[in-house]
Amino acid sequence: MDSIRALIVDDSSVMRKIVERSLRQAGISLSQVFEAGNGAEALGALRENKVDLILCDINMPVMDGLEFVKQLATVENAKGVPVVMITTEGSEAHVVQALSAGARGYIRKPFTPDQVKEQVLPVLARKP
Amino acid sequence: MSAADLALASGMGRGCWAPLLQLAAQEVFDLMLGSALTIPIEPAPEQGLDITAMVGLAGQLCGVVTVRCSEKSAALMAARLLGIAPDQVGPEMWDAMGEICNMVAGNFKNKISGMADGCMLSVPTVITGADYSVHSLADDGALRVTMAFEGAPVIISLQVHS
Protein backbone atom coordinates (compact mmCIF):
# COMPACT_ATOMS: atom_id res chain seq x y z
CA MET A 1 0.00 0.00 0.00
CA ASP A 2 1.25 3.49 -0.84
CA SER A 3 1.90 6.05 1.87
CA ILE A 4 -1.19 7.97 2.82
CA ARG A 5 -1.98 11.41 4.23
CA ALA A 6 -4.09 11.26 7.39
CA LEU A 7 -6.04 13.82 9.38
CA ILE A 8 -6.46 12.97 13.07
CA VAL A 9 -9.19 14.89 14.90
CA ASP A 10 -9.30 14.70 18.70
CA ASP A 11 -9.35 17.34 21.44
CA SER A 12 -6.58 15.45 23.26
CA SER A 13 -3.11 15.93 21.79
CA VAL A 14 -2.04 12.77 23.60
CA MET A 15 -4.77 10.77 21.89
CA ARG A 16 -3.80 12.22 18.50
CA LYS A 17 -0.26 10.94 19.05
CA ILE A 18 -1.55 7.53 20.14
CA VAL A 19 -3.76 7.23 17.06
CA GLU A 20 -0.83 8.16 14.79
CA ARG A 21 1.39 5.60 16.51
CA SER A 22 -1.33 2.95 16.23
CA LEU A 23 -1.65 3.58 12.49
CA ARG A 24 2.10 3.12 12.08
CA GLN A 25 2.04 0.00 14.30
CA ALA A 26 -0.76 -1.32 12.11
CA GLY A 27 1.65 -1.17 9.18
CA ILE A 28 0.05 1.86 7.53
CA SER A 29 2.68 4.12 6.00
CA LEU A 30 1.96 7.79 6.62
CA SER A 31 3.49 10.38 4.30
CA GLN A 32 1.86 13.28 6.11
CA VAL A 33 -0.22 13.66 9.29
CA PHE A 34 -2.46 16.65 9.96
CA GLU A 35 -3.99 17.24 13.38
CA ALA A 36 -7.07 19.13 14.54
CA GLY A 37 -8.53 19.66 18.02
CA ASN A 38 -12.20 19.74 16.96
CA GLY A 39 -14.48 19.46 13.94
CA ALA A 40 -14.28 23.14 13.00
CA GLU A 41 -10.47 23.08 12.99
CA ALA A 42 -10.58 19.90 10.93
CA LEU A 43 -12.84 21.49 8.29
CA GLY A 44 -10.35 24.37 8.12
CA ALA A 45 -7.44 21.96 7.67
CA LEU A 46 -9.31 20.15 4.89
CA ARG A 47 -9.91 23.39 3.00
CA GLU A 48 -6.13 23.82 2.82
CA ASN A 49 -4.98 20.21 2.44
CA LYS A 50 -5.93 16.97 0.76
CA VAL A 51 -5.92 13.78 2.81
CA ASP A 52 -6.63 10.08 2.17
CA LEU A 53 -8.07 9.16 5.56
CA ILE A 54 -9.72 10.92 8.49
CA LEU A 55 -9.80 9.50 12.04
CA CYS A 56 -12.15 11.41 14.28
CA ASP A 57 -13.30 11.47 17.91
CA ILE A 58 -16.97 12.18 18.71
CA ASN A 59 -16.97 14.15 21.97
CA MET A 60 -15.11 17.39 21.26
CA PRO A 61 -15.72 21.03 22.07
CA VAL A 62 -16.76 23.63 19.42
CA MET A 63 -17.86 21.04 16.84
CA ASP A 64 -18.29 17.37 17.67
CA GLY A 65 -17.35 14.48 15.42
CA LEU A 66 -20.88 13.71 14.21
CA GLU A 67 -21.48 17.31 13.11
CA PHE A 68 -18.05 17.34 11.46
CA VAL A 69 -18.88 14.23 9.41
CA LYS A 70 -22.18 15.78 8.31
CA GLN A 71 -20.40 18.96 7.18
CA LEU A 72 -17.67 17.15 5.25
CA ALA A 73 -19.76 17.25 2.06
CA THR A 74 -19.37 21.04 2.02
CA VAL A 75 -15.59 20.78 1.61
CA GLU A 76 -14.42 19.96 -1.90
CA ASN A 77 -11.14 18.40 -0.71
CA ALA A 78 -13.01 16.02 1.61
CA LYS A 79 -15.37 14.45 -0.93
CA GLY A 80 -14.91 10.67 -0.95
CA VAL A 81 -12.37 10.72 1.88
CA PRO A 82 -13.18 7.86 4.29
CA VAL A 83 -13.79 8.70 7.95
CA VAL A 84 -13.26 6.28 10.83
CA MET A 85 -14.58 7.34 14.23
CA ILE A 86 -12.41 6.60 17.31
CA THR A 87 -14.32 7.24 20.51
CA THR A 88 -15.23 6.15 24.02
CA GLU A 89 -18.91 6.37 23.04
CA GLY A 90 -19.61 2.71 22.48
CA SER A 91 -23.37 2.51 22.16
CA GLU A 92 -25.15 1.06 19.14
CA ALA A 93 -26.98 4.37 18.80
CA HIS A 94 -23.69 6.22 18.42
CA VAL A 95 -22.41 3.69 15.88
CA VAL A 96 -25.63 4.00 13.84
CA GLN A 97 -25.50 7.81 14.08
CA ALA A 98 -21.88 7.90 12.94
CA LEU A 99 -22.39 5.49 10.05
CA SER A 100 -25.58 7.30 9.00
CA ALA A 101 -23.71 10.59 9.01
CA GLY A 102 -21.16 9.14 6.60
CA ALA A 103 -18.45 7.45 8.69
CA ARG A 104 -17.13 4.20 7.21
CA GLY A 105 -15.69 2.65 10.35
CA TYR A 106 -15.94 2.80 14.15
CA ILE A 107 -13.28 2.05 16.77
CA ARG A 108 -14.06 2.05 20.47
CA LYS A 109 -11.48 3.30 22.98
CA PRO A 110 -9.61 1.52 24.47
CA PHE A 111 -8.27 -0.08 21.31
CA THR A 112 -5.31 -2.06 20.01
CA PRO A 113 -3.30 -1.43 16.82
CA ASP A 114 -4.90 -4.63 15.46
CA GLN A 115 -8.36 -3.15 15.90
CA VAL A 116 -7.21 -0.01 14.09
CA LYS A 117 -5.87 -2.19 11.28
CA GLU A 118 -9.14 -4.18 11.07
CA GLN A 119 -11.18 -1.02 10.66
CA VAL A 120 -8.85 1.12 8.56
CA LEU A 121 -7.46 -1.29 5.95
CA PRO A 122 -10.83 -2.30 4.44
CA VAL A 123 -11.86 1.37 4.35
CA LEU A 124 -8.69 2.32 2.47
CA ALA A 125 -9.13 -0.64 0.11
CA ARG A 126 -12.64 0.56 -0.79
CA LYS A 127 -11.39 4.07 -1.52
CA PRO A 128 -12.36 5.13 -5.09
CA MET B 1 -37.59 3.57 34.39
CA SER B 2 -34.01 4.77 33.94
CA ALA B 3 -31.21 2.55 32.69
CA ALA B 4 -29.72 2.68 36.17
CA ASP B 5 -33.02 1.43 37.58
CA LEU B 6 -33.21 -1.23 34.87
CA ALA B 7 -29.70 -2.36 35.73
CA LEU B 8 -30.64 -2.51 39.39
CA ALA B 9 -33.92 -4.32 38.63
CA SER B 10 -32.14 -6.91 36.50
CA GLY B 11 -29.91 -7.81 39.41
CA MET B 12 -27.00 -5.82 38.08
CA GLY B 13 -27.15 -3.51 41.07
CA ARG B 14 -24.43 -1.21 42.26
CA GLY B 15 -23.00 -4.08 44.25
CA CYS B 16 -21.97 -5.59 40.92
CA TRP B 17 -20.44 -2.37 39.64
CA ALA B 18 -17.12 -2.58 41.54
CA PRO B 19 -15.87 -5.59 39.51
CA LEU B 20 -17.03 -3.84 36.33
CA LEU B 21 -15.17 -0.65 37.26
CA GLN B 22 -12.11 -2.74 38.06
CA LEU B 23 -12.36 -4.62 34.75
CA ALA B 24 -12.92 -1.39 32.80
CA ALA B 25 -9.73 0.07 34.28
CA GLN B 26 -7.72 -3.10 33.75
CA GLU B 27 -8.71 -3.23 30.08
CA VAL B 28 -7.66 0.39 29.54
CA PHE B 29 -4.25 -0.22 31.13
CA ASP B 30 -3.77 -3.50 29.30
CA LEU B 31 -4.77 -2.29 25.82
CA MET B 32 -3.55 1.31 25.87
CA LEU B 33 -0.57 1.25 28.24
CA GLY B 34 0.53 -2.35 27.77
CA SER B 35 0.62 -2.58 31.58
CA ALA B 36 -1.18 -4.62 34.17
CA LEU B 37 -3.32 -2.98 36.80
CA THR B 38 -3.32 -5.45 39.68
CA ILE B 39 -5.23 -5.89 42.91
CA PRO B 40 -2.94 -5.14 45.87
CA ILE B 41 -2.68 -7.78 48.59
CA GLU B 42 -2.44 -5.19 51.37
CA PRO B 43 -4.27 -1.87 51.69
CA ALA B 44 -2.30 0.81 49.89
CA PRO B 45 -1.28 4.06 51.62
CA GLU B 46 -3.06 7.11 50.23
CA GLN B 47 -0.40 9.69 51.01
CA GLY B 48 1.08 11.39 48.00
CA LEU B 49 -1.81 10.65 45.64
CA ASP B 50 -1.78 14.20 44.37
CA ILE B 51 -3.04 13.79 40.81
CA THR B 52 -6.79 13.36 40.37
CA ALA B 53 -8.45 13.02 36.97
CA MET B 54 -12.24 13.41 36.85
CA VAL B 55 -14.89 12.74 34.22
CA GLY B 56 -18.54 13.56 34.78
CA LEU B 57 -21.44 11.30 33.82
CA ALA B 58 -24.76 12.82 32.82
CA GLY B 59 -28.06 11.36 31.70
CA GLN B 60 -29.56 8.13 32.98
CA LEU B 61 -26.51 7.71 35.18
CA CYS B 62 -25.26 10.93 36.79
CA GLY B 63 -22.08 11.14 38.77
CA VAL B 64 -18.35 11.38 38.50
CA VAL B 65 -15.53 8.91 37.88
CA THR B 66 -12.12 9.76 39.33
CA VAL B 67 -8.67 8.23 38.95
CA ARG B 68 -6.13 9.16 41.69
CA CYS B 69 -2.44 8.41 41.78
CA SER B 70 0.93 9.94 42.60
CA GLU B 71 2.66 12.33 40.21
CA LYS B 72 5.37 9.72 39.64
CA SER B 73 2.74 7.13 38.65
CA ALA B 74 0.98 9.67 36.42
CA ALA B 75 4.23 10.40 34.58
CA LEU B 76 4.86 6.68 34.13
CA MET B 77 1.30 6.14 32.86
CA ALA B 78 1.73 8.99 30.37
CA ALA B 79 5.05 7.53 29.23
CA ARG B 80 3.49 4.10 28.66
CA LEU B 81 0.52 5.65 26.86
CA LEU B 82 2.77 7.66 24.56
CA GLY B 83 5.50 5.05 24.18
CA ILE B 84 8.22 7.38 25.46
CA ALA B 85 10.65 7.37 28.39
CA PRO B 86 9.27 8.71 31.70
CA ASP B 87 11.87 11.49 31.79
CA GLN B 88 10.57 12.75 28.43
CA VAL B 89 7.06 13.32 29.78
CA GLY B 90 6.14 16.98 30.10
CA PRO B 91 2.83 18.83 30.36
CA GLU B 92 1.10 16.08 28.37
CA MET B 93 0.96 14.15 31.67
CA TRP B 94 -2.29 15.93 32.59
CA ASP B 95 -3.81 15.32 29.17
CA ALA B 96 -2.82 11.65 29.43
CA MET B 97 -4.42 11.31 32.89
CA GLY B 98 -7.60 12.92 31.59
CA GLU B 99 -7.70 10.49 28.67
CA ILE B 100 -7.12 7.48 30.92
CA CYS B 101 -9.99 8.57 33.17
CA ASN B 102 -12.16 9.24 30.11
CA MET B 103 -11.51 5.74 28.76
CA VAL B 104 -12.12 4.10 32.14
CA ALA B 105 -15.44 5.97 32.51
CA GLY B 106 -16.50 5.20 28.94
CA ASN B 107 -15.48 1.56 29.14
CA PHE B 108 -17.31 1.20 32.47
CA LYS B 109 -20.61 2.65 31.23
CA ASN B 110 -20.41 0.57 28.06
CA LYS B 111 -20.30 -2.55 30.26
CA ILE B 112 -23.61 -1.77 31.95
CA SER B 113 -26.53 -2.92 29.87
CA GLY B 114 -28.58 0.00 28.59
CA MET B 115 -26.23 2.63 29.99
CA ALA B 116 -24.10 3.28 26.92
CA ASP B 117 -26.98 4.95 25.07
CA GLY B 118 -28.32 7.12 27.83
CA CYS B 119 -25.21 8.41 29.55
CA MET B 120 -22.86 11.10 28.27
CA LEU B 121 -19.32 11.82 29.42
CA SER B 122 -17.94 15.26 30.18
CA VAL B 123 -14.52 16.39 29.04
CA PRO B 124 -11.94 15.39 31.67
CA THR B 125 -10.61 17.66 34.42
CA VAL B 126 -7.30 17.01 36.18
CA ILE B 127 -6.50 18.34 39.67
CA THR B 128 -2.97 18.62 41.04
CA GLY B 129 -2.56 18.44 44.82
CA ALA B 130 -4.21 16.33 47.50
CA ASP B 131 -5.43 19.03 49.88
CA TYR B 132 -8.98 19.39 48.62
CA SER B 133 -12.48 18.20 49.45
CA VAL B 134 -15.19 17.17 47.03
CA HIS B 135 -18.75 17.97 48.06
CA SER B 136 -20.86 15.84 45.76
CA LEU B 137 -24.59 15.32 45.46
CA ALA B 138 -23.94 11.58 45.36
CA ASP B 139 -26.63 9.39 46.88
CA ASP B 140 -24.27 7.53 49.13
CA GLY B 141 -20.61 6.79 49.59
CA ALA B 142 -18.44 6.49 46.52
CA LEU B 143 -17.72 3.14 45.00
CA ARG B 144 -13.93 2.78 45.37
CA VAL B 145 -11.57 0.34 43.77
CA THR B 146 -7.94 0.38 44.91
CA MET B 147 -5.50 -1.10 42.45
CA ALA B 148 -1.76 -1.11 41.88
CA PHE B 149 0.21 0.13 38.90
CA GLU B 150 3.86 -0.89 39.04
CA GLY B 151 3.41 -1.45 42.78
CA ALA B 152 2.03 2.05 43.42
CA PRO B 153 -1.60 2.67 44.40
CA VAL B 154 -4.22 3.87 41.94
CA ILE B 155 -7.66 4.62 43.34
CA ILE B 156 -10.61 4.59 40.97
CA SER B 157 -13.91 5.82 42.29
CA LEU B 158 -17.46 6.35 41.11
CA GLN B 159 -19.88 8.66 42.85
CA VAL B 160 -23.44 8.23 41.66
CA HIS B 161 -26.24 10.77 41.83
CA SER B 162 -29.22 9.08 40.22
Would you list the domain boundaries of chain B? 3-160
Mean pLDDT across B47-71: 92
Whether residue B136 contacts residue B161, with contact meaning beta carbons closer than 8 Å, is answered with yes
Bridge partners (DSSP) of residue B155 are B68, B146
CATH code for position A81: 3.40.50.2300
The pLDDT of residue A98 is above 60: yes
Whether residue B1 contacts residue B9, with contact meaning beta carbons closer than 8 Å, is answered with yes
Tell me which DSSP letter residue B104 carries.
Answer: H
CB atoms within 10 A of CB A2: 7
For chain B, what is the mean pLDDT? Answer: 86
| Per-residue model confidence as pLDDT tens digits over B26-49 | 999 999 999 999 988 777 777 889
Domain that holds residue A51: 4-125
Whether residue B60 contacts residue B4, with contact meaning beta carbons closer than 8 Å, is answered with yes
Q: Which residues, other chains included, contact B64 with Cβ-Cβ below 8 Å and sequence gap of 6+?
A: B54, B55, B56, B57, B136, B158, B159
Tell me which DSSP letter residue B114 carries.
Answer: T
Rounded Cα distance, B43 and B64, in Å: 23
* AA letter at B98: G
| Per-residue model confidence as pLDDT tens digits over B149-158 | 999 999 999 9
Rounded Cα distance, A41 and B21, in Å: 34
**Cβ pair B117:A91 closer than 8 A:** yes
Number of domains within chain A: 1
Residue of A nearest to B124 (CA): A12
Q: What are the b/e assignments for B70-81, b being 16+ CB within 10 Å?
A: beebbbbbbbbb
CB atoms within 10 A of CB A127: 12
The pLDDT of residue B137 is above 70: no
**Stated pTM of the model:** 0.89
Q: Which of B33, B110, B113 to mutate to test the interface with A (most CBs of A within 10 A)?
A: B110
- Chain Cα centroid distance, residue B124: 11
Q: Which is more confidently placed, B20 or B135?
A: B20
**Cβ pair A14:B110 closer than 8 A:** no
The confidence score (pLDDT) of residue B160 equals 86
| Contact B45/A at CB under 8 A | no
Report residue B44: phi and psi, to 5°: -90, 140
Question: If you classify domain B3-160 with CATH, what class do you get?
Answer: alpha beta
